[in-house]
Amino acid sequence: MSVHYQELPFYTIKDSFDNHNKKIRYKRLTRDFSQEQISTLQKFHLGSFRLSGTNHLMPEFIITEATKKHLFYPQGFCIMEADASYYTDRSGLDSYELRYTLSGRGVLEYRGQTYVMNAGTGFWIDCREPHRYYSDHSDWICTIFHINGTMAAALFHQYSSDGNVLFSANSCPNFEMLQFQVLKSSQKIMPYYEYKLSCLIDILLTELLTSKESSFQSDSENEIIPDIISYIQDHYTEDLTLEQLMHRFGISRSSLCAGFKKYTGFTIKKYILTLRFHHAKRLLHNSILSIEAVAEQSGFHDTAHFVQMFKKNVGMTPLQYRKQI
């Protein structure tokens, strides 16, 4: 999707320098740019690098410390027009990077894999981990968006759990539009605008995460995971085992466990226990059944074990829970 990046405020730096002469270059830039603009650039220049070409950078985002502690927030955005000598090799940057190729060709090396970045291809990486990217013998024009926030790690863990950090215009056609919405909203300072920014970034990252669903569902074994979830929801008070589920649905242990965890975020055992405890809470709240009867109807055949597990998971015994209500 083509968006009108020219609507955004940019300042342009056309230059060629590396990590060895960066201090000298920063000093020279003060003739044409403010210290704030240079500081925005500096914070991302860690490790070994050679910047060669033209960078169109947005001014630094105005973000409060409270937002950095509790919400998603943008850290920096630029459109890079790099030539064939460009590269970055770094780690330890407290940021998550979304890079999307507009034209040309680049290469990403990350977590032991090498990815080729053609037009319409992007990646999402954790910049605290070692990473290297470079132009592949040609110009590489791309958008670079650095974001962070308290939930970023959890979302990225889910996104990268299949070992692939790439996305594309085909898999996630709304990426550019959603990214542009974040950037446009960052220019409208108004009450609670940081909450809106955080919400928009959340939508962007969630879109990237769910864009992997189609490739995940293409595996015929994984297509039956929703059926298994429904079956468990109907039979969680019964004695369910992995072996029973494997036999009933004709699925291997590894596919069952991995697929179920990816869909729900729970192991099968934890999911069944969670359903049982929710059922027990409803019975404790809405009935006068004895603790023994609540245990039995919730799938626990040993009352002492039920009381022990309930306290461990809820923080109080079933009787204390009922009295509290």
Residues 75-128: tens digit of each pLDDT: 999 999 999 999 999 999 999 999 999 999 999 999 999 999 999 999 999 999
- Strand-pairing partners, residue 81, are 54, 141
Q: What pLDDT does 2 receive?
A: 67
Name the amino acid, one letter, at 319.
L
| 306 vs 297: CA distance, rounded Å | 11
5-215 and 222-324 agree in CATH topology: no
How buried is 114 (Cβ within 10 angstroms: 0-12 exposed, 13-18 middle, 19+ buried)? exposed
| pLDDT band for position 231 (cuts 50, 70, 90) | very high
- Residues 179/100, Cβ–Cβ less than 8 Å: yes
| 230 vs 233: CA distance, rounded Å | 5
| pLDDT band for position 22 (cuts 50, 70, 90) | confident
Q: What is the arithmetic mean of pLDDT over 313-317?
A: 91
pLDDT in tens, 271-303: 999 999 999 999 999 999 999 999 999 999 999
Q: What pLDDT does 300 receive?
A: 94
Q: What pLDDT does 220 receive?
A: 55
| 245 vs 140: CA distance, rounded Å | 50
Q: Which residues contact 243 (CB under 8 A, 6 or more apart)?
A: none
pLDDT at residue 3 is higher than 60: yes
pLDDT at residue 1 is higher than 70: no
- Topology of domain 222-324 in CATH is Arc Repressor Mutant, subunit A (1.10.10)
Q: Percent of the chain at pLDDT above 90?
A: 69
Handedness of CA 188, 193, 198, 199 (dihedral sign): negative
Q: What is the arithmetic mean of pLDDT over 222-240?
A: 89
Q: Give the orientation angle of helix 225-235 with respect to helix 268-286, to 10 degrees.
A: 30
- Strand-pairing partners, residue 148, are 73
| 148 vs 128: CA distance, rounded Å | 11
Q: What is the arithmetic mean of pLDDT over 182-200?
A: 92
Token representation of residue 318:
């079933």
The 3-state DSSP class for residue 79 equals strand
pLDDT in tens, 255-278: 899 888 878 888 999 999 999 999
Q: What pLDDT does 219 receive?
A: 53
Is 5-215 CATH 3.40.50.1780?
no
* Strand 87-90 relative to strand 48-57, pairing: antiparallel
| pLDDT band for position 29 (cuts 50, 70, 90) | confident
**Residue ranges of the domains in the chain?**
5-215, 222-324
| 292 vs 302: CA distance, rounded Å | 8
pLDDT at residue 217 is higher than 50: no
| pLDDT band for position 218 (cuts 50, 70, 90) | very low
